[in-house]
Amino acid sequence: MGTLNGKVAYITGAGRGIGRAVALKLAREGARVVVNDLDDEAGQSVVREITEIGSTAVPCSGSVCAPGFAERFIKTGLDTFGGLDIIINNAGYTWDNVIQKMSDEQYEAIMDVHLGAPFRILRAAAEPIRAFARQEAAEGRRVVRKVVNVSSVSGTGGAAGQANYCAAKMGVIGLTKSLCKEWGRYAVTVNCVAFGMIETRLTQPLKSEQATIEIEGRKIAVGVQPAVIEAMKHTIPLGRPGTPEEAAGSLYLFCTPESDYISGQTIVCGGGFGQVM
């Protein structure tokens, strides 16, 4: 028996990195998973992995910023599994520049993927959550649902060259606190994890050839200067970046019954770096 048996979890950006790790973690604990990723092949691969470990998943590919995506995402899980218990807003990427060189497009794209998309997904989930809560109350049952949003130490503490990303990630914390107060009456906990340096393709060391990812027709440079990574190791009390699996563990904590009376909180998963005061 897993801790999440019978639960239905919706996870964005679940094809790689932290999203993939938490999708597999929740599936191993018995959850049925709606797997979103911009890259359909990556998402389908995670669905196959979940199936191979004996759990169940369904893909919902596409950009979280696309018109109508939020409604399609929630509908996919309701139509397939008939439930909505966990939402993890994880999808995102960085597109950095100093403010005088940052275009409106660059600013708005990052704001939309990190803050606009979670807002629309939670708005689309609101009526199903209200309906489930009313039905359960009429039956004398109490079911605790979970929302876990993803922020960053860039949001809690700022970072040069990331005005767009920092603003969005701080906004996610505000969204978390607001929904905590709105949805407590429906027995929904809403929490946030702010990540420090986690080993993903976005934080890979820069090499002689610049690595890029393609987002909606744009080629976005990714990676971190090796010197910056080395310097970070000296400022992280645990002395190293975190793994996707360790990051997934912090998200999982907020999905468990043990966290049923914790809401509106932001924790930092950063090996001791960037803790919220």
Q: Is residue 175, in this structure, part of any structural domain at all? A: yes
Q: pLDDT tens-digit profile of 104-145?
A: 999 999 999 999 999 999 999 999 999 999 999 999 999 999
Catalytic annotation on 165?
yes
Q: Is residue 43, in this structure, part of any structural domain at all? A: yes
Helix, strand, coil percent values for the chain (each to nearest 5): 45, 20, 35
Q: Is residue 256, in this structure, part of any structural domain at all? A: yes
- For residues 176-200, one letter each, b for 16 or more C-beta atoms within 10 angstroms of the residue's C-beta and e for the rest, the string is bbebbeebeebbbbbbbbbbbbbbb
Residue 37 has pLDDT above 60, yes or no: yes
Q: pLDDT tens-digit profile of 66-99?
A: 999 999 999 999 999 999 999 999 999 999 999 9
Q: What is the CATH number of the domain that holds 93?
A: 3.40.50.720
HSE on the CB side for 30, CA within 13 Å?
10
Domain count, the chain: 1
Locate 224 and state its tokens.
């971190």
Out of 165, 186, 252, 261, pick the active-site residue.
165
Q: Is residue 213, in this structure, part of any structural domain at all? A: no
Q: Is residue 209, in this structure, part of any structural domain at all? A: no
The H or E element containing residue 25 is helix 17-28
Closest CA to 59 of 29, 21, 14, 26: 14
Q: Is residue 1, in this structure, part of any structural domain at all? A: no
Q: Is residue 231, in this structure, part of any structural domain at all? A: no
Q: pLDDT tens-digit profile of 142-191?
A: 999 999 999 999 999 999 999 999 999 999 999 999 999 999 999 999 99
CB 78 within 8 A of CB 90: no
Q: Is residue 124, in this structure, part of any structural domain at all? A: yes
Tokens 């597999």 belong to which residue?
24
* Cα 137 from Cα 187, distance rounded (Å): 10
Amino acid identity at 128: P
Residue 276 has pLDDT above 90, yes or no: no
For residue 95, the enclosing domain spans: 8-197+243-269
Q: Is the pTM of this model over 0.75?
A: yes
